[in-house]
Amino acid sequence: MSDFIDAFRTAIGLIVTLNPDLVEILVLSIKVSLTAVAVASILGFGIGGALAVYRFPGRGVLAAILSALMGLPPVVAGLVIYLLLSNVGPLGVLQLLYTPTAMIIAQVLLVTPIIGALTRQACQDLLEEYDEQLRSLGASPSAIVVTLLWDGRYRLITAVLAGFGRAIAEVGAVMIVGGNIDHVTRTMTTAIALETSKGNIALALALGIVLLTIAFAVNTALIWVQRLANRLAYA
Amino acid sequence: MLDPVSKLQGIGDRFAGLPLPIQLEGLTYERGGKRVIDGIDLVIDSRLVTVIMGPNGAGKSVLLRLLHGLIAPTAGKIMWAGRPLDRLLARRQAMVFQRPVLLRRSAAANVSHALSLRGIKRRERTMRVAEALRLAGLKEHAATPARVLSGGEQQRLCLARALSLEPDVLFLDEPTSSLDPASALVIERLLLDAQRRGIKVILVTHDVGQARRLAEDVVFLNHGRAIEHQDSESFFANPHSESARAFLRGGLVL
C-alpha cells in the first residue's frame, strides 16, 4: 500500500513539475487525436449528411455498416491500417508505418464511423421535421444537407466530443501502427501500458491521472453543450 | 383572340403574370389503397383569396400539397395557365404549414435562409429580411431564436418568410388553427395585405368566420371530391349540397 502511495506522490510530482517526458507524450497524444478528429469530422459530416438526404440503392445497408463500425475494436482498426501501410501493403511505398501520421490514419478510421453515424441520426431527425418546408422553399439536396448540418450543430459538437473521447483513450490502434517508439510515437495510452509492464508505476499513474482529467473535461463539455442547446430550444 | 388578362396589364407585371386559371382535371391521389382525392375537376380563376373548406379527412391538406407539387397525383393533372407545374412555376409559389416549421436559428436567419435558397444576394437579402419582419411586426424579435417565439409569432414568422419570397401563389394549410383569435386576426390582416399586392392566396381553413372574412370563392371538399365551388357570398347564403349545409350549421357531415 505504501508503495502505491509513494507512486501516487511521485505521479503528482511529475504532473506539477511538468516533467518533460510526460509533457512530450501528452502533447503528441493530443496532437494525433485532435488531427484525427478534425479529419474524421469533415468526413463524418459529409457522409452522415449525405446518407440522411440522398436516396440511392444501398443507402440502408451503408447506414447500417456505418453504425456497426461505431463499435470497431481499436486493435482491428490498427491491424487494417498496419496491413495497408506495411512494406508489403498497397501503401507501403509511403513509408508511413511507425509514424504519427500512421496513428492519425488509424484513429480517423476509428472515429469517422462514430461522427458519421451520429451526424446521420441528427440530420435524419431534423429532416423528418423540415422535409416539406425545405422542399416547399425549393432547396436542392446539397442545400438541404448544409441546412441540416448547421441546424444540428449542437448534436454535431457532441458527436465530435464523443469521437475525441474515443480517440484519446484508445490504445490498440496507435500501439500497432505507431509502435510506441520513445520520442516518436509514444502516446499516453501506449506509455501507460509499457510503464506498467516495466513496473514504473509512477509515470503510468501520472499519465493515467492526466487521461482521466481529459476524459472528465470532455464529458463535462458534452453535458454543457447539451444544456446550452436545450436552453436555446435548439435541441 | 383577345387575351382576357389584357385589361389588367397596366397594373403591374405580377398581377398580369399570375399563372391563372388553375385547372384541375380528374385529379386523383391514392394513399394506402384509399382515394384521398377522388377525381376532382375544378377551375380556379379568381385573383383573390380562394378558400378550401370541408370536414376533417376531406382531403384539403392533400389537395394543397398536390397544387404545390409536394406530392404527385396518382392520376389526372393540374395546369397553371395551361402549363403543368415546373421548377420555374414552383419557385413562384410559397406555403405556410399548419404547424410552423422553423429552423433552429434566429427569426431573421430563418427569412434569410429562404431567400438565399432562391439565390438572392446577401445585400438584397438584408433589406428584404428587415422589410418582411417589419410587415409581420417581428422587427424587435429579429435576433431571437425562432423556436422560443410564441405560437402566434412563429406562425407570423412563417408567413413573413413566405411573403419575403414575393410569390405569385401562396398556399396556407389551416395557419391559424392553433392560434388565439388575436393572433389569427394578425395573420388574416397580413393575408389581405398580400392579396392587395397581387398575390393569389389559397387557404385551407375550417374556421367559417375566417372563410367569410377572407374568401372570394369557396371550394367545398368532402370525401376527396369537390362538392361545390362558388363565390363566397352565394356559398354562405345558399350552399347547394346537404353536406355543405350541415358543415356550415356546425353539424355532423356525412
Instruction: Indicate the domain borders of chain A.
Output: 2-231
Burial of A1 per CB tally in 10 Å (0-12, 13-18, 19+): exposed
Query: ipTM score here?
Result: 0.89
Based on its alpha-carbon atoms, the radius of gyration of chain B, rounded to whole angstroms, reads 18
What is the pTM for the complete model shown?
0.90
Give the orientation angle of helix A201-231 with respect to helix A20-53, to 10 degrees.
40
Domains plus CATH for chain B? 6-249 (3.40.50.300)
CA distance A69 to A92: 25
- The Cα of A180 is separated from the nearest Cα of chain B by a number of Å equal to 45
Instruction: Please tell me which of the candidates A133, A139, A234 has its beta carbon nearest to residue B97.
Output: A133
CA distance B237 to B247: 13
pLDDT digits (tens, 9 = 90+) for A26-77: 999 999 999 999 999 999 999 999 999 999 999 999 999 999 999 999 999 9
Q: A151 vs B105: CB contact, 8 Å cut-off?
A: yes
B169 is written with which cell numbers? 401563389
CATH fold for the domain made of A2-231: MetI-like fold (1.10.3720)
Q: B105 vs A138: CB contact, 8 Å cut-off?
A: no
A176 Cα distance to chain centroid: 17
pLDDT digits (tens, 9 = 90+) for B182-200: 999 999 999 999 999 999 9
pLDDT digits (tens, 9 = 90+) for B54-102: 998 899 999 999 999 999 999 999 999 999 999 889 999 999 999 999 9
Burial of A134 per CB tally in 10 Å (0-12, 13-18, 19+): buried
Q: B104 vs A135: CB contact, 8 Å cut-off?
A: no
Nearest residue of chain B to residue A135 (CA atoms): B70
Chain A residues touching chain B at CB-CB below 8 Å: 129-130, 132-133, 135-139, 143, 147, 150-151, 232-234
pLDDT of B108 over the 80 cut: yes
Does B84 sit behind a cis peptide bond, omega within 30 degrees of 0 on the bond before it? no
